[in-house]
Chains A and B, each alone.
Chain A
Amino acid sequence: MLETSIFIKIAWRDLWRHKLRSILTLAAITFGTGLILFVMAFARGEHQMMIKTSIGLFPGYLQIHRSGYQLDKSLVYAMPLNPGMMDYLKRSKMVRGSSARLCADTLVQAGSNLSGARICGVKPSDEIKVSKVAQVFFPELRKLPKGKKSFRRTRGEFLQDESTGEAVLGEDLAKNLQVEVGDEIDITSQDYYGSIAAARFKVRGIFKVGTPDLDGGILLVNYAELSDLLYLQDQVTEIAVALKDERSLNDLELEIYQMVSGQEGPWKVEKTGRAGIWSVQVLKPNLALDSVLQIVDQEIVSKAIDRIPGVIASSPRVNATLVLNGRQVRASGINLNQENQLSALLSRTKPALNPDQAFAHPDWILASEESAKALGLNPGDEVEIRGENYLKEKFSRRLKLAGTFERKETDPEAYLDLAGLQENLRLGENAHQVLLRLKSNRDPAETKKMILARLNYEVIPWQELMPDLVQLIFLDNAGAVIWMMILLVVVAFVVLLTILMSVLERAREFAVMKAIGTRPSEIFQIIFLESFFLGLIGSAAGALLGTIPSLYFTFIPLDFSGMSEYIMEFGLEPYIYAQFEPRMIPVSFAIMLIIVLFMSIFPALRAARVKPVTVLRLQ
């Protein structure tokens, strides 16, 4: 067995025997690596810019709402403006600015021109810290690269903190209404109670930021004026927050939930006697404690539960006192799969039931063992339930007893299908109670606070505020990846071809080596080492080569004025910076090295399998 260092020496010398071939291969590898790195830096820069600009225009890095608002952006989900929260946001080191807004859909009219828009009441001095729509009015706040002109423009001025009955709107909206700075517009909206709310404003400023959504659909006025108009004094619908660094998004989200966790809200959250299972009930203060109308929209509460960390299962319920074959029982309507995940109901049920068959029809009922015994019922029997809904209407239904269950603390005396009971009780898609199973065994008081915070508020990150943007970035990334793949395939085949050529050329050499006793594995090693050297040198050079333009475009933007239409859709300026990150060097280096090594396997095998007898005889 020869020493490895000899093979290294042989491989190295082999490379320089055919200088031109090696250099060409090296060039392919270098160029490929450089391009990979540049594409990465460029895509990253483009996305960062898209994110920064789009969310900076108006939505904010995250928004705080009362839970439910994200599903239905209606005044019904307005929340009291919590001074503690605003103070906290002002003090937080992660936050650049925060703006509490009251927003509603409205009709805007000027003369005979009519247009729909979203009107937002804002505090001007706060809004300037959060959104470009406000910042664009102040040239000193705009940082533009030398020699570049922004297409963003404004006429007039932004709002002032004093209420003056003035409004600021987008250029497209102004064009639709045919108004200029100084003209009057009338807005017609519906207040919190649904009554018609109308007011007249004077146009103080007109902005163009580039996105049709904002330029054509938004109107800003002073908070105080709009809150009076909509009968929502001291109430807001959203708090938009701008961060100093996008990476602190999750930290801030957690901190906000932590900070509001002291509030109870219209909920009763308690730990049940069973480990890890919590009960959430609705407790609206304007209704009686035991009112049948203490209900919550299933969709809203399930979205809130999705935001609670560590929830393994949840099960919504409607609860009612029913008469089962003449005997009063407490019954719950459940979604069987969800309840089974939560409390393993079917494992306590006799006889053993196949959920797909036994509960295919919604006319099933499960009774506790005691109730079934007291009523003399056996599985398979038909039973009658009777009850009364909140309108005092009576209902009755015939059901089939699917089985009996062993009752535990969270169980009522009978279970039946959720949708059927909701219909009987005329409760729509609402639930009285939701049971949760949580993973952690944290302190109960802390857990309760954590649940309450997410039931009362929703903190929505930009990814959810702007799903279109996320999709665009995804598509764009996919495009870059495909581009890179094509490039890599080409480079890979170039490498394969050169190595293969050199192996075929040297068939005689390998035959002689074999004839004097070199093992196939040693020949394989030599070829593999040759490619390793090529890969190593090429990738390293390529990484360096790619860094230069990436770094250059990180500081000096690439001009895209030619295709500004597409970019302006997202409110971007028509120039793009690349964003070079040091970790891109090892990544592009590794990708290329792996490809080169992989592509050398076949030629190396080919060399190792040379048959000395055939090759030497043919000469």
Chain B
Amino acid sequence: MRIRRCGFGLIGLATALISSGLFGQEPSGTEIVKKMDELLRGESSYTKMKMTLTNPDWNNPRELTLYAYELTKEQKSFIRITYPARDKGTGFLKVGYNLWLYVPATEKVTKIPPSMMHQSWMGSDFTNDDLVKESSIVNDYEHKLLDTIQDPANGKVYQLELIPKPSAQVVWGKILVWVRAEGYVPLKQQYFDDQGRMASEMLFSEIKNLGGRIIPTVWEMRPADKPGHQTIIRLLDAQFNQEIDPAIFTEKNLKSKNY
């Protein structure tokens, strides 16, 4: 995909002109998903966020703050928790499909084994696996534009259906995506299992300028099988396509706490 974008830029441009400009048609499903994915991730990113975890068994929701660095192409990311005091300093490093954990209490770096990948990440509705999974939403799925909706709040909205390619190793049977036409901002994603039952739903809201991009700044994750549970991510700060020191993505940095 990347090669074509660089090497055959002219062809890509021409195709874009033909498909959307000249004939006034809608962009293809794949283009929409690609643009949406690019918007939230970029080549590299730095984000600071607050996570609010709600569980009906708890008296109060829990809050976490953390920052994350990501190099999209290299599939590397780094997360450090800054609040609450109990979890402060806990760090995660992801390189490819591997995930390492650093805990300040024992000053140890632990590689999380495959058996723990499906456990909840820090008590949220995300699993460790969700963190590690390479964003395959572009490459591993067939994208079909189902519908174009006029929404009073968001204007034109594309509704897409993502079906995994036969060769792809993915957990979902289907993903439904709602994307605002203006700026390709995601609004909602619904994940379905192999039997067609909804497994979880992610809602995006409070679309505003952050780090030079118009992006949703509140992401809400709700698992379908656990009513009342939800995880809200609030982006506090974001920078895209900045130079990031590659030394951040090392075990040494996990321990040294420079970042």
Contacts and interface: CB of A to CB of B under 8 A. Distances in A.
A114 interface: yes
Nearest to B124: A194
B86 interface: yes
Given A194-B122, A428-B225, A429-B225, A200 B110 contact: no
A388 B62 CA distance: 27
B58 A193 contact: yes
B208 interface: no
B57 interface: yes
B108 A198 contact: yes
A436 to B, nearest CB: 23
Given A116-B115, A195-B122, A198-B103, A427 B227 contact: yes
Contacts of B225: 428-429
Interface string A411-440: 000000000000000111110000000000
Interface in B107-128: 108, 110-113, 115-116, 119-124
A430 B101 CA distance: 34
A514 B196 CA distance: 84
A136 to B, nearest CB: 28
A114 B59 CA distance: 35
Interface in B223-240: 224-228
Interface in A108-149: 109, 114, 116
A194 B120 contact: yes
B246 to A, nearest CB: 24
A188 B106 contact: yes
B226 A198 contact: no
A186 B101 CA distance: 13
Interface string A289-307: 0000101000000000000
Interface in B86-118: 86-87, 90, 101, 103, 105-106, 108, 110-113, 115-116
A554 interface: no
A576 B87 CA distance: 53
B227 A286 contact: no
Contacts of B113: 107, 114, 116
A76 B226 CA distance: 13
A199 interface: yes
Given A109-B110, A114-B110, A286 B58 contact: yes
Contacts of B103: 188, 196, 198
A76 B57 contact: yes
A271 interface: no
A195 B123 contact: yes
A200 B86 contact: no
B61 to A, nearest CB: 11
A44 to B, nearest CB: 40
Interface in A190-205: 190, 193-196, 198-200
Contact of A193 (B111, B123, B227, B228): B123
Contact of B227 (A194, A196, A428): A428
A284 interface: yes
A71 interface: no
A426 B120 contact: no
A293 B116 CA distance: 29
A200 B56 contact: no
A194 B62 CA distance: 10
User: Residue among A190, A295, A428 with the most chain B CB within 10 A?
Assistant: A428
Contacts, number: 74
B174 interface: no
Contacts of B228: 293, 390
A6 interface: no
User: Residue among B108, B123, B227 with the most chain A CB within 10 A?
Assistant: B227
B222 interface: yes
Given A194-B120, A196-B90, A426-B227, A286 B101 contact: no
A618 interface: no
Contacts of A107: 110, 112-113, 116
A107 B116 CA distance: 9
Interface in B38-74: 53, 56-59, 62
A426 B122 CA distance: 24
A190 B119 CA distance: 9
A196 B101 contact: yes
B56 A287 contact: yes
A188 B112 CA distance: 10
B57 A295 contact: no
A391 interface: yes
Contacts of A195: 86-87, 122-123
A188 B62 CA distance: 21
B59 A286 contact: yes
A188 B90 CA distance: 12
A382 B111 CA distance: 58
B66 to A, nearest CB: 12
Interface in A421-472: 426-430
B195 to A, nearest CB: 12
A194 B106 CA distance: 18
Contacts of B105: 198-200
Contact of A196 (B87, B111, B224): B87
Contact of A186 (B59, B108, B222): B108
Contacts of B108: 109, 186, 188, 198
Given A194-B120, A195-B122, A293 B56 contact: yes
A114 B123 CA distance: 23
Contacts of A200: 105-106
Interface in A360-406: 390-391
A107 B109 CA distance: 12
A188 B111 contact: no
Contacts of B57: 76, 284, 286
Contact of A198 (B106, B115, B116, B119): B106
A295 B227 contact: yes
Interface in B74-94: 86-87, 90
30 contacts: A76-B57, A107-B110, A109-B108, A114-B110, A114-B111, A114-B113, A116-B116, A186-B106, A188-B101, A190-B119, A190-B120, A190-B123, A193-B53, A195-B86, A195-B123, A196-B87, A196-B101, A198-B103, A198-B105, A198-B106, A199-B106, A200-B106, A286-B57, A286-B58, A287-B56, A293-B56, A426-B224, A428-B224, A428-B226, A428-B227
Q: Which 9 A-B pairs have the closest CB atoms?
A: A194-B123, A198-B103, A428-B225, A293-B228, A186-B106, A198-B106, A198-B105, A193-B123, A186-B108
Interface of A: 76, 107, 109, 114, 116, 186, 188, 190, 193-196, 198-200, 284, 286-287, 293, 295, 390-391, 426-430
Given A194-B120, A194-B124, 6 more contacts: A109-B110, A193-B62, A196-B103, A198-B105, A200-B106, A293-B56
